[in-house]
Amino acid sequence: MSLSLKIKSFRLIGILLLIGSFLMACKKNKKKADEPVNPTLPVVIVVPPPVAEVKKYLPILLEDGKNTIEFSYIDKSSLISEIRYSDGRKDVFTYNSSKQILAHRRYNKDVLNSLMDYYLTTSGQVLRAAHSNVVANKFIPTGYALFEYNANDRPINLKYYDNLRKIVKEEVREYNSTNDLTAATTNTEGMASSKISYNYDSKQGMFKHLLNLSLLQIEATDGLFISGNNNVLSVLKTSAGSVNQYFSYTYHIDEYPTTYTFTEGTVKKTYKISYKLLE
């Protein structure tokens, strides 16, 4: 083969190689163009709905049209400082700097009638409560009580002693899962055992946010503070001659009672409840 023919052959091969490379590149680009494009999706942040704040109310007034019960509190707290009854009675509570109860004084028309002094453990639990009557400004000790607690800091066993250190009464208290008092069994010296059972609604209790509520329940002679986490519906008694008590309520939007009707035998009273928000 002549030199000129060889040159022409090399040129033809080069041209064919260039054409082949071009066709391959076009095919590859076409394949890329045919592939689906995955667009960049925006980041969506899901914000959970706000949790409704549970409003904390403290009762300040109970009234039935004739009688009233007023509650006063230590500033910006749920510690009761005074309870005033329209018939002239008054309960006054004092606390230490750690908001632990120290004493409960009962007055009638501003005359001091009795005193309960509380003695605390290092953790602040009431271990002992000593009672005295007050006559002509003289304090006369009448006895004391010793307390035992469950794991939820609720008193479950109360032993009452006279001034001669003789036990005169023992009370065993039971609670449900929400720490409402469900039963109290009392054994008194020389008397048959008696039991009181309590049932509740599922709404916000009128005294739910009071500190030292379990002590107030023990101290209240009229069962005033039984409604704790929930509101008491019935108080059922086993002792001879006792009359059961029943309660019904109306509620406002936050499920706290605005009125309650108390029924005991033929006695029926309806109370209006006023509150303030706990600051």
Question: Residues 188-208: what's their mean pLDDT?
Answer: 93
| pLDDT one-digit tens code per residue, 75-126 | 889 999 999 999 999 999 999 988 899 999 999 999 999 999 999 998 889 9
Q: With 0-12 CB in 10 A as exposed, 13-18 as middle and 19+ as buried, what is 61?
A: middle
Contact between 152 and 161 (Cβ < 8 Å): no
What is the average pLDDT score of the chain?
Answer: 86
Backbone φ and ψ for 113, nearest 5 degrees, come out as -105, -35
* Confidence (pLDDT) at 135: 96
Q: Which helix (H) or strand (E) segment is 27 a member of?
A: helix 3-34
Q: With 70 as the cut, is the pLDDT of residue 19 above it?
A: no
SS3 127: strand
pTM: 0.78
pLDDT-derived band at 202, boundaries 50, 70, 90: very high
Contact between 249 and 271 (Cβ < 8 Å): no
| pLDDT one-digit tens code per residue, 30-46 | 544 455 555 666 676 77
Distance, in Å, from the CA atom of 115 to the CA atom of 133, rounded to the nearest integer, reads 6
Report the range of poorest mean pLDDT among 96-110, 146-160, 209-223.
209-223
Report DSSP letters for 179-191, one per residue.
--EEEEEEEETTS
Q: With 70 as the cut, is the pLDDT of residue 229 above it?
A: yes
Q: Domains of the chain, with CATH numbers?
A: 57-277 (2.40.128.720)
